[in-house]
Structure 1
Amino acid sequence: MEKITEGVEKMKIAAGDSPKKNRIQVSNTKKPLFFYVNLAKKYMKQYNEVELSALGMAIATVVTVAEILKNSGFAVEKKILTYTADIKDENRPRPVQKVKMEILLGKTANFDELMAAAAAERELAAGDGEEWEMVGNS
């Protein structure tokens, strides 16, 4: 009996944990696609991995974000989970079941080099714009 009680107490502690800091809940209507791509890069830089999460119609967006990161060499896929979640709706007496997907991505070995190259490109592009203005004013 003690083992069962111990197990239940551990489950309660795990269930009460704070939400993951490296989780991004993706919506297909609230933000543009590359907002999530850039945010995922920032989270991977900070936490070495990122968890993308989506419900229902936003699953297509989360898959697209993951594929962009993988195809551009920034991320590797670690885990994919799909399941149904009970979502409470104020207008309905019972919870509604929605499909949920979570994709865990980790940094690639050359993630830092790719990020440095992208930053250098942005600086170069910003510098070119300033030079162009100076040439145009003379």
Structure 2
Amino acid sequence: MEEITEGVNNVHITAADAHKSNRIQVSNTKKPLFFYVNLAKRYMQQHDEVELSALGMAIATVVTITEILKNNGLAIEKKITTSTVDVKDESRGRPIQKAKIEILLGKTEKFDELMAAAAEEREAGNGEEQN
């Protein structure tokens, strides 16, 4: 029990890292790609920027989300951070190192205009379906 307490006491988390309301931790198994694309758009509407974070194989998903948002004129890259983190491997019982990426995206100047146009298109499309 002492070891656990000692380990917990040695963990230092800054207030900014403890809970970022604009951070999305991406998994390539839990949700479909466009769930994350749409969530990122919503976070940018609320916070003007979004941080996408992923480990290991999910890194490709984060890069794809970033490229979709950039190619649609919605986001610009503000910062990209790569690192390596120790993750406990349950099958081996010892920590393994995994690559980590964090990409900070900001809204483009045309973000609000493009989002408003997309919302209008959806509303117009819904009206046509009902006729």
After TM superposition, the score normalised by the length of structure 2 is 0.86
Q: Deviations over 1:45-79 (max 9, x none)?
A: 00000000011111111000000000100000001
Residue correspondences, number: 121
- Equivalent positions of 1:1-138 (< 5 A) are 12=12, 14=14, 17-131=17-131
Q: List, as ranges, runs of 4+ consecutive aligned residues in structure 1 with deviation greater than 4 Å.
A: none
Distance 1:118 1:76 in 2: 19
Higher helix share: 1
RMSD: 1.8
Secondary structure of 2:104's aligned partner: strand
1:13 CA displacement: 6.4
Q: Distance between the aligned counterparts of 1:116 and 1:24, measured in 2?
A: 23
User: Which ranges of structure 2 fall in alignment gaps of 5 or more residues?
Assistant: 1-11
Percent identity reads 72
In our comparison, the structure showing a higher alpha carbon Rg is: 1
Once the two structures are superposed, what CA deviation does each residue of 1:74-118 show, in whole Å capped at 9, x if it has no partner?
000001111110112334332111001110000001110011000
Q: What is residue 6 of structure 2 aligned with on the other side? A: none
The alignment's TM-score, normalised by the length of structure 1, stands at 0.81
